[in-house]
Amino acid sequence: MSSHPPKSNHRSIRTTMAHAGRHPDEQFGFVNTPIYRGSTVLYPSVDALYKREQRYTYGTKGTPTADSLNEAWAEISGAAGSVAVPSGLAAVALALMAVTKDGDHVLMTDSVYRPTRVFCEDFLKRYGVETTYFDPMIGAGIETLIKPNTTVVFTESPGSQSFEVQDVPAISKVAHKHGVSVIMDNTWATPLFFPPHEKGVDIAIEAGTKYLGGHSDLLLGMVTANESHWKRLRDTYDVMAICAGPEDMFLALRGMRSMLLRLKEAERQGLAMAHWLKARPEVHTVLHPAFPECPGHEIWKEHFSGSSGLFSIILNPVSDKAVAAMLDGLELFGMGYSWGGFESLIVPFDCSTYRTASTWNPAGPTLRLQIGFEDVVDLQADLAAGFTRMHATKG
C-alpha cells in the first residue's frame, strides 16, 4: 500500500482514471511511474536497518510501480487498500486464505469460476476448511445456510458462464449480521460498473488479466479490502509474498488509463451482438445481465452501472457435431479461455456436470462469447456463416 493519501474523490471517474496513482514529481517529471525492478533496498545506517521505517524496505513489500497501481486501484474500487498478485486465481486464493482457518466453513456460489471451486476442493479442504455451495439466486435466503463456523460467503456476480446476477447487497447484509465476511469476484463488472465495497463486499477480487490489462498480454490479480478487512488481507499477502511482477504491474497501469473507455465500448459492442443473436432463430436464450431473461436482471438494473462484453447464449437443440461445424470454421472469433482483450472469442461450455446447489438444464448447447473491438457487422457475418455451416451439418 502506498504512502500517498487518496486524491479528492469529488472528481468524475473519468478524471480519476487519468490521474490516480501518478506522481510525476517523484519521477523526474515523467508522466508514468516506470518499471522498478528490485529485490534489495539499501539502508543508510545500522539504525535505519533495524528500524525499517523507510518507505521501501524490500522488493516483495512494495516498489513505486506497485504503489502506483495499488493506490490507483484502491481509489477506483473505493477500498481501504489493494494488493497486486500474479494472476486472478492467485487473487481468489489470497482472499480465501485471508479469512479462513482450520475448522471454518465457506459458503460458495454454485456458479463460481471453476478453478475457484477446485481450490476449495483440492486445497482448502486439506487445511480443514469445509465448503458448501449455494444457489446463486439465493439472496437473503443465504441466512439458512450460515453455520456457527461459517466465516465467509464467496460471491461472483454474474456467475461464470451461466451469468446469474447475485444479490450481493442482500447477501452482505445478512452475512454481516452473523459476523460473516463477504468476498466477491468482481472480474466481469470491474469496480467501474459495480463498486464492490460500497455494495457491502469486504474483500473484492478482479482478474486484472481481463479488462484491466485489456490486451490479452498479461496475467494479474487485484485484491482490495474495506477498512475492517484491509489489515488481514495485507498481513496474509505479506506472509506469502505473492507479489506480481513489475512489467505486469506496469502494463496494468497502462491498461488502466483507457479501461473506462474500453469497457464502455465493450458494453456497446456486446449489446449490439447480443441483440442480433436474440433475433436469430438458432438462439433460444441470451444470458446477458442487461436482458430480462437473464436470471437476476432486476438486480443488475438496480446495482450495476453497465455491462461488459462477455455473455452466453443457449442454442436451440442441435447436435454437438453441428455446433463444432459452426465453431471450427469461424474466421474472426478465436476459441480460447480468458477474455477482456480487444479481440472476440467464443467457447462452448457445459457446467451441468459439477453443479450441486442449483439446476442448470439448458434447452440446447451453450456458448460463451467475448465481444472485442472488431466491426460488429463483420463479427455478425462470421457467426451467420457459422450458423449456415451448423444447418448444413446433419447428425
Ligand X SMILES: *Cc1c(COP(=O)(O)O)cnc(C)c1O
Q: Which of 62, 64, 81, 88 binds ligand X (CB under 6 A)?
A: 88
Q: At its nearest, how many Å lie between ligand X and the CB of residue 277?
A: 21
- State which of residues 2, 16, 87, 358 lies at the interface with ligand X (CB under 6 A): 87
166 binds ligand X (CB under 6 A): no
Q: Is 163 in the site for ligand X (CB under 6 A)?
A: no
* Dihedral pair phi/psi, residue 193, rounded to 5°: -110, -10
Q: Which residue is nearest to ligand X (CB)?
A: 88
What's at 36, amino acid-wise?
A: Y
DSSP per residue over 297-326, as a string?
A: HHHHHHH-S---SEEEEEEPS--HHHHHHH
Task: Choose the binding region for ligand X from 50-58, 82-90, 262-270, 291-299 (rule: CB under 6 A).
Answer: 82-90
C-alpha cell at 379: 463479427
Give the three-state DSSP class for 27: coil
Q: How far is the CB of 310 from ligand X (least distance, A)?
A: 8
Site string for ligand X, 185-224 (x = CB under 6 A): x-x-------------------x-xx--------x-x---
| Residue 122 amino acid letter | D
89 binds ligand X (CB under 6 A): yes
Measured from the CB atom, is 159 or 246 closer to ligand X? Answer: 159
* Torsion angle of the four alpha carbons 59, 63, 66, 69, in this order, in degrees rounded to the nearest 10: 180
Taking the complex as a whole, how short is the minimal distance between the CB of residue 215 and ligand X, in angstroms?
14
Interface stretch with ligand X, choices 87-95, 196-204, 299-307, 353-361 (CB under 6 A) = 87-95
Quote the least distance from Cβ 260 to ligand X, whole Å: 19
Q: Which of 79, 93, 99, 113 binds ligand X (CB under 6 A)?
A: 113
Helix (H, G, I), strand (E, B) or coil at 172: helix
Judged by CB, which is closer to ligand X: 134, or 387? 134
Ranges of H-type helices in the chain: 13-19, 46-51, 64-77, 88-98, 114-122, 168-177, 190-193, 227-240, 246-257, 259-278, 297-303, 320-328, 376-392
User: Taking the CA atoms of the chain, what radius of gyration do you get in angstroms?
Assistant: 22
Q: What's the min distance (Å) between Cβ of 208 and ligand X? A: 7
319 lines the binding site for ligand X (CB under 6 A): no
Asked if 162 is part of the footprint of ligand X (rule: CB under 6 A), the reply reads no
| Member of 60, 338, 380, 393 binding ligand X (CB under 6 A) | 338
Number of neighbours of residue 58 by Cβ within 10 angstroms: 13
Determine contact, residues 310/188, Cβ cutoff 8 Å: yes
Number of residues that bind ligand X (CB under 6 A): 15
Q: Is the dihedral of CA 220, 370, 135, 125 positive or negative?
A: negative
Site residues (vs ligand X, CB under 6 A) = 87-89, 92, 113, 156, 160, 185, 187, 207, 209-210, 219, 221, 338
